[in-house]
Structure 1
Amino acid sequence: VMTIKCDLWNRSGVLPDGPLNAAVGETVMFNTTLTPTETSFLAVAWNFNNSMTIITSTNSGNITGPGYEGRIILFPSTASLELRSLTLNDTGEYSVFIFQADGTVHAGRTTLVIYGEQILKSKSIIDFAIFKHVYVTLNISVFTRNWMKDGSELTPTDNMILSDNNRVLTFNTVNRKDNGEYFCQISNPISSDGAKYIMIVNYGPENVQIKGPNKINIKGALKLTCSAESTPSARFTWFLNGTEILTNSAEYVKEEVELSDSGNYICQAWNKITERTSSSAVHRLSVTGICLC
């Protein structure tokens, strides 16, 4: 009497659920679910895509199929199979029949998917160029790509487009809010990696302002401060009544003012990257003749 245990043949049987994943050049192990036994199996037959013999093992010896010499190891206690030096052509379905001395036959099948390349660890995964638009691209064959910005999942805004299966992030018009750290996580079933790109959006100067007193007594100490919204930081030049009085300083300081320090102060901000200039509103200062000495 022969008992054939193949009620799971339309699924995995004695083999793990597929697909199994591996890369070119690696090794894969097809482990059966059988408990190791000291009693030899009558026969074990491994096949590829239901037509190509990988190995047939009987008490008389082993017969290895073409292309598998030196690439396989059959473990006799469980009928598990190790396959080495994988190639893209090894992608497909693998099946096994295991014949025991008591007439029981175990069967199983699973699939194997070989990927052509692992994701290589690299600091230059992201290539970019800045023109009128900004393109941040990921140049590698991957399974999934996920983009993040400043530690959170990236939600494209009106000026962003994700294209080519999330490989390319395009900024049609770069805004100040686009400033930040962009991170792309890439993965396939056998490997993963990520890379970041820090985008610095240069802008300004904008909103140039002078802060300080509008009235001061003669011989008093004067301090005016100029600020501007700018990346990189702006360079400041001070004017009094149209005449330049100080450059390259955000502060105008005078220990003792004179009556001649009265007038209209303007601060001009300049951004060396954008090459833009912007001036503050006129700051009127009156110096009185009363000295609180």
Structure 2
Amino acid sequence: MQFYSFFLSFFLSFFLSFFLSFFLSFFPFFFLSFFLSFFLSFFLSFFLSFFDIGQYLGEDLQVSGPANGAVGGSVVFAPDNPPSTSIDTVQWNFGSTPILTAQSDSTLIASAYRDRVSFDINTLALELRNLRLDDSGTYRLTVIPSAGDLLTGETSLQVFENITNVRLIGPEESLIEGESSANITSEGTGNITSVQWMKDISPLSPSNSIIFSSDYRSVSSSPVQRSDSGEYKCTYRNPVSYETAKISLIITYGPEDVSIKGQDVVDSGVRVSLSCSANSEPSASFSWKFNGADTDVTTDTFTIDQTDFTHSGDYICTASNSVTKRNASQKHALLVKGNIYNTQVKKWPTVWQVLQISLFIHEVTTVYQQFIMHL
């Protein structure tokens, strides 16, 4: 630091004296007066350079910062370049308010800080504990060496309240696609410097249907679409803390795209299943009609255990949504092939079978006649 002070004082005095010599050069004997004043100014500047103006300007101590702290927390201030020479006195001030004055053998702490600060004379580090909001401001370090220049440095502190009690308030009623509007409002306590919204795993950004309030504390969508379903997260932040709240939205819609899967043409005497599906939130309920008449089937599958000609006709599946109060239907035609009466082909009896039957009839007749005669 002495080296820089030397050249600073040298060049300041040199240029001041140079302008003086230039001014004197306008007097008679122009060149003689100019060069005399020039060399006089040079020696004057060289002489003044031995006076260290750093002692009047104060040299810099580099104190890291600015710093951020949380209410109730602690922070440490320390110079990055503590002086290597012996120190007579050290002072830490908050603005113009003294915090402590220290010498090699003693440290005097102001009563307002007595239970809240610690000081290390070796590193000049000041620890401030149990931070309060009114601790925000400028902190100044002053070092008076045993010999040499006055050294100063300063930094700043901003104290924040921790963010707590963050929550989201959303719609309580069911949200129907294309009809309903949704608004999510965030709340929380503490010093909030930024608000961030996410939907599922992606940042939530404004669009034609997504609108944020001016303070970014609430978001709305109107009318809602099924793509609005998902988990919404809001994060409150400041430099020392953050907290996130979540809420889920379910957008109801449908039913739509009703379809029936199953065979169109079957043989008689087989098992047939018709399966009905629909795109719906919440899941749709189902009912079936056969040839315009209601059935007792209320599942998504209509099953016929053994078909006959009476099962041919139109099967209608109706999907219903209990929230949207909407329904949609689909028809499926089924044709059962085969004999109308579904009878089996019978074979003619053999000669032996005919003889056995004849003998049986003869014996029965004989027994009956004998029974009658005894009466």
TM-score, length of structure 2 as denominator length: 0.68
Kindly indicate whether the alpha-carbon contact (under 8 Å) linking 1:47 and 1:55 is maintained by their aligned counterparts in 2: yes
Aligned position for 1:218: 268
CA distance in 1, matches of 2:243, 2:59: 41
Deviation at 1:163, TM superposition (A): 1.5
1:128 lines up with 2:128 in the alignment: no
Distance 1:44 1:36 in 2: 11
Between 1:134-143 and 1:225-234, the stretch displaced more is 134-143
Shift of the 6–106 alpha-carbon distance from structure 1 to 2, 3 Å rule, reads: same
Instruction: In structure 2, give the amino acid aligned to 1:138.
Output: S
Residues 240 and 157 of structure 1: CA distance in aligned 2, closer, same or farther (over 3 Å): farther
SS in 1 for 2:87: coil
Kept in 1, the 8 Å contact 2:168–2:245? The answer is yes
Residue 23 of structure 1: CA displacement?
1.4
The aligned counterpart of 1:14 is 62
In structure 2, the residue matched to 1:72 is 117
Contact 1:214 1:286 in 2 (8 A): yes
Change (3 A) 1:90 1:127: same
Would you say 1:254 and 2:304 are equivalent positions? yes
1:27 maps to which of 74, 89, 95 = 74
The match for 1:208 is: 258
TM-score by length of 1: 0.85
- The match for 1:278 is 328
Mapped to 1, the partners of 2:83 and 2:263 lie a distance apart of 90
Consecutive unaligned residues in structure 1, runs of 5 or more = none
Q: Report 1:106-117 matches (<5 A).
A: 106-115=151-160, 117=161
- How many Å apart are 1:161 and its aligned residue? 0.9
What stretches of structure 2 of length at least 5 have no aligned partner? 1-50, 174-179, 345-375
Aligned with 1:241 (options 291, 303, 316): 291
Residue 182 of structure 1 corresponds to 232
Instruction: Work out whether 1:46 is the aligned partner of 2:92.
Output: yes
Kept in 2: contact 1:52–1:65 (CA 8 A): no
Contact 2:168 2:185 in 1 (8 A): yes
Deviation, 1:6, is 4.6
Aligned length: 282
Return the offset for 1:125. 2.4
- Structure 2 residue matching 1:45: 3-state secondary structure: strand
Aligned to 2:8: none
Query: What is the aligned-residue RMSD (CA, Å)?
Result: 2.7
Query: Partners of 1:7 and 1:266 in 2: how far apart?
Result: 93
Match of 1:263 among 305, 313, 320: 313
Q: Which residue of 2 aligns with 1:105?
A: 150
Structure with the larger RCO, 1 or 2 (CA within 8 Å, 6+ apart): 1
Aligned match of 1:167:
217
Cα deviation for residue 288 of structure 1 reads 2.4
Task: Name the SS of the counterpart of 2:72 in structure 1.
Answer: coil
Q: What percent of counterpart residues are identical?
A: 33
Please state how far the C-alpha of 1:7 moved relative to its aligned partner.
Answer: 5.1
Larger % of strand: which? 1
